Structure 1
Amino acid sequence: MSAARRAVYTALLGGYEALREQPTALRSGIPYICFTDDPELTSSTWHVEQVTPLFPHDPTRSSRELKTGGHPLLADFDETLWIDNRVELTVDASDVLDVWLKDSDLTMMEHSFRERLIDEFTAVADAGIDATDRVWEQLLHYAEQRPDLMDGKPLWTGMIARRNTSTTGRFGRVWQHHIDRYSRRDQLSVQMAAADADSPIRVIRRDNRESEWHRWPPVDEQLRRRPAYHSRWEDALRAPLLTAAKLRERNRRLEQRVFELEDAASAHESRAVEAAEKLEHAKQAIRTAEDRAQALHEDLARTADQLRQEQQRNADLNHDVEDQRQTASALRDQLAAARNELNALRSSRSFVLARRLVHILRR
């Protein structure tokens, strides 16, 4: 099996900061690609690739589009490692990919200094790095859909190891949809996107500020603060979320009941149609049976008439037979009388003398 084609990539759009060089790229056998809209950007460690931002007036979301979905130039690579511009690799990127993509197609690090995802929402809102109303709207929607995610550890998206598969591709597209719809801070939506896309993420538990693979500049202490009002706001949020959850559950049950009733009504309608068809067939069978009964009745009447005619003919024949018998009896009586008369004649003296005379004459 041939070795997987690999690449490291980042994006730097809008010229908001300088490109961080990657010394490990000089001794690496895989390309390091930086996508940028700055025509004057040069680098000694990155291959600079010019791109047109997806949103010319929104370089942050344009950069996220490259982060979540990659770029057509990356389609020929089997495995990629995204790193934020602030991240500096301390080892060859192949060493990271060997570990991170072992038994996984998508791997990220756990956020080491955020205890819960809801804390990340609060930090973004407190720092003013995105519109507060949009952040709170996103939090409300997520808390209603997946309240379990709110109390879980968030992920750090400064490094993303990914194998090029249909599942990771779908995850990237769903993630970008969340970023376009809600906050541009991609760490707020990555876990919800993974759940929506049914794309499991392998989580590496390390300090995301520095590990055996990278360094990342320290985060401003202000982003780590948990304002006192946050607890009050969170407590106030739980009641409407609980009510909303109950209403959603009731709505789900009502919808389920409606579906069940619709299915039952459909089943009854089907049975009614079947019963109507059977009734029509039964009526047709009755009409056929009645027609057959009428034909049989007519046949029976004809047969009875023929029987009466035959009986009459038999009676006439019997009468004729009786007449013939009587005639035959009379003839037999006449024959007997004739025979008696003949016998009497033959035995008479005259007949005897006549026979002798005939005999003499023949001689």
Structure 2
Amino acid sequence: MPPELFLPTFIRDAEISLPLHSFRETVREEFYAVLQHGFDRAERVREQLHHMTTHQPEVLTQQPYWTAILARQHGPSMQDAMTDWMFHVLRHSRRDQLSVNAILNRSSLTVNALALDNFTSEYHTWLGVKKDEKILKDRSFIYPLSDDIRDRWLTSRAHGKTVGARRRLRAATSRGKA
């Protein structure tokens, strides 16, 4: 669907519009799901959860936003909030949906929370479902990686130290999967 058809519905009178997560009831539940499925390093996620429990406990009981789709009106307040969000993602978990509620709570932005199913709606079909299932099953990649990203992945601290990770990526690359 062309953006000009759905953006007016998304934005309305708000400065930012994004869907609520359709199958998580609380931000705390989203933290637990990220930990359970190993979507990010556990120590990073636990540290962020502790920080939020200490400084913004009310956020943990909110329904999380789903950040795959969002529309925003640019301005100084939006720039400040998006910069804070980026710093949160760089400092804590890379799972941006763990921090977006906290950032929007602290900001003065008006939010339009949309009730959309995460997997499919009149505006989208989430193409990541099969990819996520495959990654969870065998931790391999099913989409090609650029040489630059593959090389950085091979030499990164998180993945480059283990021989097993290098072998798996090289094997996937030689099979044409990465």
- Fold similarity call, TM over 0.5: yes
Report deviation, 1:124: 1.0
Structure 1 match to 2:14: 104
Matches within 5 A, 1:265-304: none
> Quick check: 1:134 aligned with 2:44?
yes
Structure 2 match to 1:36: none
> Quick check: 1:170 aligned with 2:112?
no
Report deviation, 1:127: 1.6
1:180, 1:120 → 2: CA distance? 18
1:119, 1:160 → 2: CA distance? 21
| Larger strand percent | 1
Matches within 5 A, 1:205-244: 205-217=115-127, 218=129, 220=133
Report deviation, 1:107: 0.4
Contact 2:16 2:72 in 1 (8 A): yes
Secondary structure of 1:140's counterpart equals: helix
1:143, 1:95 → 2: CA distance? 40
1:150, 1:137 → 2: CA distance? 14
2:108, 2:124 → 1: CA distance? 29
Matches within 5 A, 1:6-45: none
1:43-82 deviations in whole A, cap 9, x for unaligned? xxxxxxxxxxxxxxxxxxxxxxxxxxxxxxxxxxxxxxxx
Report deviation, 1:171: 0.8
Structure 1 match to 2:102: 192
Matched AA of 1:113: F
1:198, 1:105 → 2: CA distance? 10
2:109, 2:51 → 1: CA distance? 20
Structure 1 match to 2:93: 183
Report deviation, 1:120: 0.9
Matched AA of 2:51: H
> Quick check: 1:147 aligned with 2:147?
no
Contact 2:15 2:109 in 1 (8 A): no
1:185, 1:198 → 2: CA distance? 23
2:91, 2:106 → 1: CA distance? 14
Contact 1:157 1:186 in 2 (8 A): yes
Structure 1 match to 2:154: none
Structure 2 match to 1:113: 23
CA-based RMSD = 2.0
Secondary structure of 2:19's counterpart equals: strand
1:27-57 deviations in whole A, cap 9, x for unaligned? xxxxxxxxxxxxxxxxxxxxxxxxxxxxxxx
Structure 2 match to 1:203: 113
1:202, 1:164 → 2: CA distance? 15
1:200, 1:145 → 2: CA distance? 22
Q: Percent of counterpart pairs with the same letter?
A: 33
Pick 1 or 2: higher relative contact order, CA cutoff 8 A, min separation 6: 2
Structure 2 match to 1:269: none
Matched AA of 2:109: S
Contact 1:101 1:161 in 2 (8 A): yes
TM-score after normalising by structure 1 = 0.35
Secondary structure of 1:156's counterpart equals: coil
> Structure 1 segments of 4 or more deviating over 6 A?
none
Structure 2 match to 1:18: none
Report deviation, 1:136: 0.6
